[in-house]
Structure formats: C-alpha cells, structure tokens
Chains A and B, each alone.
Chain A
C-alpha cells in the first residue's frame, strides 16, 4: 500500500471519507476527521488479519466484503444494523459480508486523541440516528468508486451502469463483480463533493429483516465476550470492595490467602481523589491476583479483612421519606423549574375538579448478565485492553490518565458486550484493571463476582412524583403540576448544578404541549449512594408516574382511559416543544389506537380480565403498550402484551421487534419485582436471588410487537419499549384488582393492598 494512493472526499463539514488501496487489491473506505494534521494510515486498516481491520468497508479481490461496526453492541443489534446501512448503499451481497467490531478508533493529534470513527457509544438510543447521518456515505462512496472502475473497464459511462448484490451490470448484460473491480477502484480519485445517496425505493437491505450477525457464534458458544478472553496467561483478579464508599481497610491479614495454591499477590486499591464518579474506583478495594479464577476466589474467601465504616449513615427508606416530604412541601423551592407553560397558579384557581396523586419508585441496579470485567496489559510503551464498555472513548480517558501513554499507544478492543443498560458508561472497573496491571509484569484479567456487581453499582435513584391537575367543566385538563424529587445521576460528575435534572426528567415529556398550563419542577436530594445512567431514564420513571396519573384522571372522570388519552392528544398536528423537539400527535394517537385494536380494547369495560394502556414520546419516536392481566387469588398473570412503535424508517425490523419485545420484558421484570435497598449506607442485595429478574412464569407467554412503517429519519430504539410497559401493567392491575399501584415494585405493593 502506498500513501500516494490515498484520497479523501468530503463527507460532512467535519469528517471526510478516506479511500485507501489495501493489500492484495482491496478497496478500503474509512472515515477520518477533516482537521487531520497529516494522513497517517490507521494502523491496522490495511492489515490482512480480520480483527486488525480499522476501516468501515473493505472489499477484497475475491469479492468478500468486511464491514466494521463502530458502536459497541450490548445486545441492541448495532453490529447488524450499522453494517447493513453501509451494505445497502454499497449494493453489497449480504451473504458475502462479514462484520467485525472496530474497537476504539483513536489517533494521536499532538498528544490529544482524535476519534477516527466518530460516534462510538452503544445502548443510548443514538447509534442508528448517528449512523444514518454519516455511515451511508461510506457505502455510497465505495459504490461510486466501483462504478467508475467498471465504467473504464467496460467502456460504458458510469451513469448507465447499475449495481446489484455485489456486481456492476452494464445495459448489455455484462457484469463485473466488486472483487474484480476493487483494486482499480482504489486508485480512482473520489469526487470533490459527497456522492449522492440512494433513494429509498432502491433500498434492498434497509427495511428487510436480518438475523443478528453474531447469532451463530452465540448459539455455538464461540462468541467471545470480554470475560472470555485469555490473553498472555493473564493473572485473574477478583476484588472485595468496601461496602461504604467513604470507608476503608480497618485491618487486613493475607496469610491464609497467600497460602492458597495459585494465589500470586494481594493488592489494595483506593479511589483517586478529585476524579469524577465513574472514572476511578467507586470504593476502596482489596484485589486477590491468582493464576486462575478458582484460586483467586478461594484466596478472596480466606482474606481476614475488616472494613472501616463510612461517615454517612443513610437508609433507603429514609431517602424515600425525604423525597416524599419534599414534593409534598408546598413551600419547598425546586432545584430546577424544568418547564413552565402558561400559568399553573392563576389558571388553577377556578376549576371544576382537582386531582392529586404521589408515586414512589425504588432504587434500581443495572444487573448486567456479564459482570464488570476488563483484561489489561500495560507496558511502558503501550496498553492493550479488552473492555466490555458502552463508551470506549471514555474508557480511553481512564487508561490515559492512569498510564500517561500517548493516544495511539492505547489499544481498546470491544467485543460483543453481555448487557450494558448504562452501567458500562462508567469505567471504575477499567481503572481497577489498569492499576493492577501496572503492578505486575503480566496482563491482568479483572472479574467482579455477582455479589460485588450487585452491591457496588451506580444505581438508579429512587424517586417520588407528586402530581396535581385541574380540569374544567368540559373535562379538559387545564393545569398540570409535576413535582419530582430524586438524587441526580449526574452529581459528582463535573456536570453543572443547573443541568443535574437532565438525567431525572425530560422537559419535553408528555403531556407537554397538550396542556395549556404545565409546570415541571425537580428537587435534588443528596445521597451517599453512587448513581449513574440507567436504561430508559429519565423516561422510565416519568412515564410510569405520568401515565398512571392520566389513568387516575380518567377514573375520576369515569371515562375510558383510552378516550381520555385520545381527547388529550387531540387532532393530528405538529406541536413544537422547544429545543427542536416536535410532538406529532397523529403518530402518538396512531400507536395508541394500534395497540388498542390489537388487544380488543372494546372489551375494556366488560372483560373480567384487566386491560391497561399507556403511550409515550421519546426523542422523535412513539410507543404504546396495551396489557391484559388476570388475577387468580393473589397470583397476577400477564395474559397479553401488545406494543406498537413508530421510529420512522426501520433499518432491521427483526432487530427492532426483538429490541422492543426485550425492552418490554425488561421493564415488566423491573416493575414487578425489583428494588435495591440499603441500610447504614450498605446495599442489601448481593445475588440474583436478592434482585430477582422475572422468571419465565411471571412474564407473558408472547409479546406482540407492531411496527409502524415510516419514511422519516430513523430514531433510536434501544430502550423505546421500556417506558410504557410498567404504567400499562399498573393500569391493567387497577382494572382487574381495583388496586391502584402507586409504589413500585408492583407485586409487593399489590399484595400489600389486595
């Protein structure tokens, strides 16, 4: 490969596509930033080994195509969807495409990192929107180059050629495979302006269902998650963390531990002072390093370790009480007035009806199936890590801080991840692995055991919502006042105080835009318990509270709650909510009607089973659930679940169906059973038994997903199926049991009130 063969083409204002000739006649198209000082070849982009490839698209001379997936796939399907976006623009034969996870793309920009792949975050609902914006160009440019090469070869103008499943086809029927054109295509200069993208009528892969690209590897046990990597005879490290974040080691005797065959070393670790939450250790820890996991586990069990307790003495019950007191204290000034439409105080004075309710939701853990782990090798001239992360760029920051290595000396590989749910946006476990790897001359594989994983999380804060709504004589909601109290997930993370609310409540959430006088206040509560981003937040907690309360309004009006919602939503129209958010009431009403029809809502009044419904708006996507429940004595059965989603254009309907069905079950499982509690600032959950994800028997037998076809730019869907599941369930439980569940977890509260 010679550097003179490199070309660049503008892709967007900030980034350029780069075309390179690969080894053995391959065409390689990557993306790089426009402000690159020089044009270094991304190191492994042209390598012959699959896992070293660093480009988005590589077309080999034999016609095989390798497409890189840049965002970590935590089970959200990006490893399938993102490459299919590229492959469609390329008119690739999908059966000839292999997908490789790219790992972190970083270059050295005078000592600063330059992220060569752009967006590299998974599980936040923005992977597909980001890919839609820039990855189509990679496929389109590759196709354009292949067409130019074919035009020269065939003596036919490029605009008279067409591409189909890996071939360029001439009007006279002659065809050339992409593989045969790759070498010539790599020598053609790309155009100065971006090449046109396909029109939607020519999509062949987008909109068609596809199996997960990793499915075969997963069902055969060959898929290697980070924890499945055994590089360089790594020492295994298991940890015991202090139950108090501000505690420490009172006494430590390692004699018995060191006597365990295979144990190599015991190391004490401490959080670094002044480093934001999630970037260093969460709490002090003692690590046992051994030649295998069993020896490390035995060694940890034999530690004679006494922890010194922390200075704070907080209980989760106390926290919830504080939150309830705060939202019920009319004189308490909010930390942030999140939204204030119209004038709630004035408009609420003369009204026909006033309704109030308070909802309490518990602390939650992430409970990733694959526990926190990290494989790290740190030398003086480089670090190599295998990290199960949702955000490799943030993991890089941690490695960089702890090693002082140059940007490109840090290699972070990200295999498929065993669940993220927001936990892996934090990298405390990466800090631990790097600290340990610096102390031994071997790679270190850190593995958290389940008890540590459960009790050492960055939790979702408990929260309390208090609503007060007034209605006029025509049963219209005139004022809506929401007061919410919680401990922000963004505190102690360098986020300004006036932005702490953004993890807790969405300023555009329903019923914003639908009620003339609407106020949303948020109250920050301090807590010693570390918090962090959690799947579906802030929508998860707010949709439960809001959509339960809408049902209570319907109940007060003695009205069918579907009718109440459709009246509230009104005629199809576009309502600007500020910050470029627009609520399309037609799309919202549509998902609601679709689930209602499917679950036969017309039986709502008559059926002995309970029917419940809820709808929500998430950043340009729309979702509704309808749920049917029955009660046998004290046993709650979820008989049917229907979910409708409108995300605009659908990339992979099979992936979307799975994601929505899965998020539905995750939300039901969470609402039914789950809560984290703590006493004396110590978390009381230590195992799957203490934090019981729903069993198969508790969950519905089927999940019926309705996908609304759309033409607009695709919205993300990684958690879209979550927010409305719990309120639809609670609303169905009310119909079947007359118990209004205002406190989660639902089963415990329902049984208490039955």
Chain B
C-alpha cells in the first residue's frame, strides 16, 4: 500500500544514545503487539486491521458498526472498528478476535463454548458475537437472559439461541 507505512516497533540495540526524531503516526497495541500507523489518520480501525495488517477476523458488513460484525475491544471496552478513526486510537490497546486464544493456541472458554454449542451458522458474524459476549461476561460474570438480550449483533443464519447457550455454558463453568 503506497500511502500506508506500518512497522512493528523493535527495541533499539545501539550502544550510543542518539536523540530520536519526533515520531510520526499513531502508536497503538493490537493483541499485545505494538504497531505504528503512518497513513491517513482518519482511516477507520476496521480497514487498518483488514487492509493493512490482514487481520481479517473483524468483519465488514455495514456502515456505522451496524449489526456488530466489526466489534473489538478498545482498552477493554466494546467498540465498532468501522467507526473508529485511527487518530482516536493513539496509545490504546485493541483486542480483536485473533487475540482471544492464548499464545499457545489454547482457546478462550468462550471460543470453546461456541464450538461445543455449535453456535455457528455461516460464521461470518461469529467474531462479532464473540467480542460482544466477552464484553458482556467481563461486565456480568453471570448474565441474565435480559442482559444477553442486549447484545447488538445480527445473524441471518439464526445462531442466537445457540450463542445464548454458549454464554450460559461459560457463565456456569465460571460458577462451578
């Protein structure tokens, strides 16, 4: 991409201390790794994740974050990546669906519950459901049905009742 320069920050290993140039761009953390975005700072996070980093688990399905397909956590709070300009993400920490499993590949209990409850249709909306469900469980470890009802996600394949089972499975597992 011509106008978008990105790099993973690496520690300097030189012996002498040289004053650094003023840093251009937006520094942020994504799934525990540091990135700097030097392109258009109005670019929404969604397209930075997808077009630049090729982290494609966060999906596009509509403008303005409708339907919850592009949900991520920003500093632990649920946010629609499609509506977040990179400028607003300076110094922030972003978690996407790719960041849910442990580094050794062990799935997050919610991911495992989605598999065990077959809470998947075509799967395109699944990352968004996972992020919204994770946010819900972070706020309410034992969410009520009414709280689960507030999830913003849309799904045409009809995974909703199975997502509810998956969330309850995790909540019950946490209680046990």
Contacts and interface: CB of A to CB of B under 8 A. Distances in A.
A367 B63 contact: no
A697 B121 contact: no
B139 interface: no
A367 B124 CA distance: 13
Contact of A662 (B50, B130, B148, B158): B158
Contacts of A657: 118
A693 B156 contact: yes
A661 B61 CA distance: 23
B121 A696 contact: no
Given A419-B121, A658-B120, A221 B162 contact: no
Contacts of A666: 156-158
Interface in B122-176: 122-127, 130, 145, 148-151, 153-165
Contacts of B165: 702
A417 B100 CA distance: 23
Nearest to A445: B51
Contact of A294 (B44, B118, B162): B44
A658 B164 CA distance: 13
Interface string A637-677: 00000000000000000110110011111100100000000
A700 interface: yes
Contacts of A261: 3, 40
B121 A221 contact: no
Given A450-B63, A687-B63, A688-B67, A370 B122 contact: yes
Contacts of B107: 216, 219-220
A369 B124 contact: yes
A369 B155 contact: yes
Contact of B155 (A223, A291, A421, A693): A693
A665 B124 contact: no
B142 to A, nearest CB: 16
Contacts of A220: 57, 97-98, 100-101, 107, 111
A230 B54 contact: yes
B28 interface: no
A93 B154 CA distance: 37
B4 interface: yes
Nearest to B43: A294
Contacts of A240: none
B62 interface: yes
A292 interface: yes
Interface stretch (A33-41, A207-215, A476-484, A592-600): A207-215
A159 to B, nearest CB: 40
Contacts of A661: 158, 161-162
Dominant secondary structure at the B interface = loop
B101 to A, nearest CB: 5
Interface residues of A, number: 66
Contact of A417 (B42, B52, B122): B122
B40 to A, nearest CB: 7
A42 interface: no
A272 interface: no
A522 to B, nearest CB: 28
Interface string A145-158: 00000000000000
A74 interface: yes
A212 B118 contact: yes
B55 interface: yes
A688 B40 contact: no
A379 to B, nearest CB: 23
Contacts of A212: 115, 118, 120, 123
A703 interface: yes
A230 B151 CA distance: 31
A664 B97 CA distance: 28
A221 B120 contact: no
A669 B125 CA distance: 16
Interface in A409-435: 416-421
A371 B61 contact: yes
A222 interface: yes
A126 to B, nearest CB: 18
A223 B47 contact: no
Interface of B: 1-4, 40, 42-44, 47, 50-52, 54-64, 66-67, 69, 96-98, 100-101, 107, 111, 114-116, 118, 120-127, 130, 145, 148-151, 153-165
Given A371-B60, A655-B118, 19 more contacts: A220-B98, A220-B100, A223-B123, A227-B56, A261-B3, A262-B40, A291-B3, A292-B47, A417-B122, A418-B123, A658-B121, A662-B121, A662-B158, A662-B159, A663-B158, A665-B161, A688-B67, A689-B66, A696-B150
28 contacts: A211-B116, A219-B130, A222-B98, A224-B56, A225-B56, A228-B56, A233-B1, A293-B51, A369-B59, A369-B156, A370-B122, A418-B59, A418-B123, A420-B122, A450-B62, A655-B118, A658-B159, A661-B158, A662-B121, A662-B157, A665-B161, A666-B157, A669-B158, A687-B62, A688-B61, A693-B155, A696-B150, A702-B161
